[in-house]
Amino acid sequence: MGCHRPFHAGCYTHAATTARGEAVETSMKLRTWLRPGMLVKRWILLLLSGLVMTSLALAMALAWIYRNYEFPTYTAGIVQTLTLQFIPHPFRELLVVSAGIGFTIFGFLRLSGSLLSPFMDERPGGLALADIIATHRFGITKPDLRIVTIGGGTGLSTLLRGLKQHNVALTAIVTVGDDGGSSGRLRAEFNVPAPGDIRNCLVALADSETLVSDLFQYRFEAEDSALHGHSFGNLFITAMTKVSGSFEQAVIESSKVLNIRGQVFPSSLEDIKVLARMTDGEVVRGESNIPVARKRIERVFIEPEQAEAYDPAIAAILSADLIVLGPGSLYTSVLPNLLVEGIAHALRFAPGEKVYVCNVATQPGETDGYSVLDHLRALASHINGLPLNRVLVNSNLAPAETRIKPEWHVSAVRNDGLAEFSDTVALDQRDIVNPEFPLRHDPEKLAAALISIGRNHVAERVQGQVDVTRPTNENGTVRGDGWSRHDRVPVETGRAASN
């Protein structure tokens, strides 16, 4: 079946993203093998040298026999064929060399696989052989950055697929307020936190998105079945919750099954419900019902209001070099996490660079007609003292002009009005959109941009050029007077999003 819903299916770019991810993964493994000090290359070279010397000796012996021995007349044709006399020089030598190199490499790889397969089956955490050897030689590789992402939905999964290809310690903090579809039914029937967004993030971080990943994403389609609409991953996490006795342990065990690169935490283990008050005063209950109402949102809030944050999520935020909010549904994915009081409080004290990744396109029923400015105003109006250092904005609007179809009822998020924030938050405009599907970010572009921001922040902090209690400009100087020293929130933006 095709993918018809641009904001929910997310299948349009999955194949291309997976292919690019596999190419990057292969390149990373090759660089690991070529790393100096692995004590592998020298022995391979010695082995090849021995094979070459042996081959040369055999070739010299055969040449001596050919020149000095008179072969019977009836064998002359066979000898000429075996020695490739019918192929002119130097093509004769090139053919033999190419075949020899191919046989050597193929045989070496298959022999190595046969000898090492019993040990590889017992390898810790499913690490690749190159990583195991590198860890043995040099110890555990220190990650370049410690990155925490906060959000949910397709946007967060897209980001994670890009970031996992880099040498970073990655933690995803995910909303559990989803009450629609499979997640909503499982919440109601088994009294567990919503597993859907957790499942998507686990699959996005899977070491290799192969059969097990596809299994987790498999959705039962038979309409006359009690399983209709459920995904296998949601059922697995729910069953693991009941077997292990806790949702957090279920996520940990699922992470092991998928061999993920990083860790996934719920923002809270409580039974959170998301509500929205519309500009006409109506209150809509349930995350899944908010965009369906198709009304302009004034404010969202959660029940219970004092939901307790998940402690490991708080610890990850406080130790991160880079904290990324979004991308994803502003009111139903990003803000529900920030409304968990402990999460917002940890953000205020975290020394890492805090970046909001603004969506590249509007979302029907949530952010119709929104610009970047409207997104920032909504964040500031909901979270008192939101410690936002930077907003990452897409600068390439060209794909949206030709590829966004009118029947989708969406548009590219406009960059106008950014001058209002120029003295209070660093505005970072880069080409981070997927040119083939401009409703989504490009995972590789987005990951590269965020890692660049994170590395710059760490370098400046190490050099003592950053005062982490105040926002700074690109040159490291403290920005404007529009920030409260304690709250670090733009004074002029502490209001609801404008109509």
When mean pLDDT is compared across 81-85, 144-148, 222-226, 428-432, the lowest value belongs to 81-85
> Rounded to whole angstroms, how far apart are CA atoms 456 and 475?
11
Across the strands, what pairs with 394?
Answer: 430
Task: Specify the higher pLDDT residue, 476 or 268.
Answer: 268
> Rounded to whole angstroms, how far apart are CA atoms 197 and 205?
12
Q: Are residues 41 and 154 in the same domain?
A: no
According to the model, what pLDDT value does residue 29 have? 62
CA 283 to chain centre: 34
According to the model, what pLDDT value does residue 181 have? 86
- Mention every residue, 6+ apart, whose C-beta is less than 8 A from residue 387: 347, 348, 350, 354, 488, 489
Whether residue 90 is preceded by a cis peptide bond, meaning omega within 30 degrees of 0, is yes
Look at residue 290 and tell me whether its pLDDT is greater than 90.
Answer: yes
Q: Is residue 411 part of a domain?
A: yes
According to the model, what pLDDT value does residue 180 have? 83
Q: Are residues 156 and 278 in the same domain?
A: yes
Q: Are residues 388 and 451 in the same domain?
A: yes
Q: Is residue 197 part of a domain?
A: no
- Domain that includes residue 273, residue range: 144-175+267-493
Task: Specify the higher pLDDT residue, 167 or 172.
Answer: 172
Q: Are residues 78 and 150 in the same domain?
A: no
Name the pLDDT band for 220 (thresholds 50, 70, 90). very high
Whether residue 438 is preceded by a cis peptide bond, meaning omega within 30 degrees of 0, is no
Name the pLDDT band for 138 (thresholds 50, 70, 90). low
Q: Are residues 345 and 426 in the same domain?
A: yes
Q: Is residue 183 part of a domain?
A: no
**Rounded to 5 degrees, what are φ and ψ at 447?**
-60, -45
Mean per-residue pLDDT over the chain, rounded: 82
> Rounded to whole angstroms, how far apart are CA atoms 58 and 223?
70
According to the model, what pLDDT value does residue 369 have? 93
Q: Are residues 103 and 162 in the same domain?
A: no
Q: Is residue 89 part of a domain?
A: yes
According to the model, what pLDDT value does residue 130 have? 67
CATH number, domain of 321, equals 3.40.50.10680
Q: Are residues 302 and 430 in the same domain?
A: yes
Q: Is residue 303 part of a domain?
A: yes
Name the pLDDT band for 488 (thresholds 50, 70, 90). very low
According to the model, what pLDDT value does residue 475 have? 41
According to the model, what pLDDT value does residue 480 have? 36
* Exposure on the CB side of residue 295, measured as CA atoms within 13 A: 16
Q: Are residues 159 and 130 in the same domain?
A: no
Q: Which of 82, 110, 138 is the last residue of a domain?
A: 138
Is this model's pTM higher than 0.75 or not?
no
User: Rounded to whole angstroms, what are the CA distances from 420 to 291, 493, 498?
Assistant: 28, 9, 14
> pLDDT (tens digit, 9 = 90+) per residue, 49-90?
888 888 888 888 888 887 888 878 777 788 778 778 788 888
Q: Is residue 213 within 8 Å of residue 206, measured between CB atoms? A: yes
Q: Are residues 40 and 171 in the same domain?
A: no
According to the model, what pLDDT value does residue 5 have? 43
According to the model, what pLDDT value does residue 465 have? 54
Q: Is residue 118 part of a domain?
A: yes
Name the pLDDT band for 127 (thresholds 50, 70, 90). low
Q: Is residue 75 part of a domain?
A: yes
Q: Hey, what are 418's tokens?
A: 């950014």
When mean pLDDT is compared across 355-369, 393-407, 463-477, the lowest value belongs to 463-477
Q: Are residues 130 and 278 in the same domain?
A: no
According to the model, what pLDDT value does residue 470 have? 44
Average of pLDDT values for 191-210? 87
Average of pLDDT values for 455-475? 66
According to the model, what pLDDT value does residue 329 have? 94
Name the pLDDT band for 273 (thresholds 50, 70, 90). very high
DSSP H or E run through 355: strand 353-357
> Rounded to whole angstroms, how far apart are CA atoms 392 and 429?
6
Task: Specify the higher pLDDT residue, 453 or 7.
Answer: 453
According to the model, what pLDDT value does residue 317 have? 96
Q: Are residues 46 and 150 in the same domain?
A: no
Average of pLDDT values for 130-158? 80
Q: Are residues 357 and 401 in the same domain?
A: yes
Name the pLDDT band for 490 (thresholds 50, 70, 90). very low
Name the pLDDT band for 143 (thresholds 50, 70, 90). confident
Whole-number percent of the chain with pLDDT over 90: 44
Q: Is residue 385 part of a domain?
A: yes
Number of domains in the chain: 2
Q: Which of 109, 138, 167 is the last residue of a domain?
A: 138
According to the model, what pLDDT value does residue 120 have? 61
Look at residue 376 and tell me whether its pLDDT is greater than 80.
Answer: yes
Q: Which of 93, 123, 138 is the last residue of a domain?
A: 138
Look at residue 40 and tell me whether its pLDDT is greater than 70.
Answer: yes
